[in-house]
Amino acid sequence: MDTRRQTAEATAKKYIGTESLMKDLGSGAEGFVFPTPEATAIKVFKYEEKFLRELAVYQRLLEHNVTDVLGFAVPRLVGFDEQLLVIEMTMIQPPFLLDFAQAALDEPMDFPEGLDEWWERVEAAFGDRYATARAVYDELESKYGIYYYDLAPRNLNFGDASAQ
């Protein structure tokens, strides 16, 4: 087991207050996700910057009482720990939208390769569902000031076999 996973598991145990963890729900560039005994999920972040971004988005969504975006369920913020870099959220089922560590609030990010190239990659990833992905992005931006830059089928999950 790599040291990052060991550290994440130790942090999760500390946050949850248990010596054992259930099987993790996944991992990615930003951190590791574990279920809790309270039927919520916690995300243990590797980097403070990503934690702060995702926390800010969840706080904005909670402020607006958002539970879904255009029919895609969105986890609700349950709690967080700034020292441990942990966010606790509700569990959701597909279709869903999640993973906000690459998002920005109120101002778009700069793209070294350019925004047009990014949209081309999004279109390639979603194929004939690109219009829906674009509509979700536009809804987040126009209604909540959230610029969501992790548009990928694993994060905008349609709830069928085509979502990876």
DSSP-derived secondary structure letter, 28: -
**Stronger pLDDT, 143 or 21, i.e. the higher one:** 143
Q: H helices then E strands: how many in the chain?
A: 4, 11
26 Cβ contact list (under 8 Å, min separation 6) = 32, 33
> Angle at Cα 159 formed by Cα 154 and Cα 162, nearest 5°?
65
**Stronger pLDDT, 38 or 132, i.e. the higher one:** 132
The identity of residue 44, as a single letter, is: V
| Residue 21: pLDDT over 90 | no
Lookup result for tokens 């809790």: 36
Whole-model pTM above 0.85?
yes
* CATH architecture of structural domain 3-157: 2-Layer Sandwich (3.30)
Neighbour order of strands in the sheet with 40-45: 26-27, 31-35, 40-45, 86-90, 77-81
Instruction: Judge whether 74 and 96 are in contact, CB under 8 Å.
Output: yes
User: Helical H runs in 102-144?
Assistant: 115-126, 130-144
The per-residue pLDDT for range 91-136, each reduced to its tens digit, is: 999 999 999 999 999 999 887 778 899 999 999 999 999 999 999 9
| Residue 164: pLDDT over 70 | no
